Amino acid sequence: MKVAVLALAGISLVGCDCQKTTASLAGGDTPNVDVRELRWIVPKEADWNEIQFGGEGSAQWSNGLLHLEAGVELTGTQFSGDLPEMPYELELDARKVAGSDFFCGLTFPVSSKDECLTFIIGGWGGGTVGISSIDGMDASENETTTYGNFEDGRWYAVRVVVEKGKLSAFIDGKQVVNVATEGRKLGLRPGVIEYCAPMGIAAWQTESEVKNFRWRSLAD
């Protein structure tokens, strides 16, 4: 009997990650998980409201998918629920259905709901990427300006990381924004994009879709 018990014990330890096992036992058989993975927040669709820009198309959420119809100018939706607080990261997937300008204009809070920026993807004729506005310069004018070729119908993974004194943004895992924000004047480009504050999604004369919108705290 003792031999059998020892044999089973030996089998159970083969390939064992001792640190994970110890952590599990210390927590009373609680699985060892990344605490940050539990922090993801998916906003309620009921907390999004269509924005009346004038000449806008429909902006409707359904089963986790936002469909933005092309408008005369902007079409968008504004979030009215509890906001993420710095430091945090935000993720979404976006795609252009039809059109030739930005298919994702993500407005988000920085230090507070009164300090917001917009991450533009595909603006100024379809290729400009950048942040509006930094020191009064918009996404086509400041050091965050880059360019990309965005295909109709293809989903792009978007990630924004908001930290004290620093802002980063990624498209399909590639970093496209890495800018220091300490001591800079941060704010939205003057105009109707301000209706998206403190958090919103908009597109300019372009039909697009957004899904998998979520954020999480990066605080320890």
Give the residue-averaged pLDDT of 55-69.
98
Q: By CB neighbour count within 10 A (0-12 exposed, 13-18 middle, 19+ buried), where does 3 fall? A: exposed
First to last CA, the chain: 48
Structure confidence at residue 37 as a pLDDT band (50, 70, 90): confident
pLDDT of residue 220: 85
Helix (H) / strand (E) containing 213: strand 206-217
Q: For all residues of the chain together, what is the average pLDDT?
A: 88
171: which 2 tokens? 């498209």
Query: Is pLDDT above 90 for 191?
Result: yes
- Residue 32 is predicted with a pLDDT of 66
> Where are the domains positioned within the chain?
1-32, 41-217
Say how far apart CA 69 and CA 206 lie, in whole Å: 7
Residue 34 has a pLDDT of 67
135: left (phi over 0), alpha (psi -120 to 50) or beta: left
The domain defined by 41-217 carries CATH number 2.60.120.560? yes
- Mean of the pLDDT values across residues 158-185? 98
SS3 24: helix
Give the pLDDT score at 11: 33
Length of the chain equals: 220
Of 9-18, 34-43, 87-96, 161-170, the range with the lowest mean pLDDT is: 9-18
Radius of gyration of the chain (CA): 22
d(CA 171, CA 94): 10
Give the whole-angstrom CA distance, residue 213 versus residue 107: 13
Helix (H, G, I), strand (E, B) or coil at 163: strand
Burial zone of 179 (CB within 10 Å; 0-12 exposed, 13-18 middle, 19+ buried): middle
Q: Is residue 22 scored above 80 in pLDDT?
A: no
Averaged pLDDT, 97-126? 97
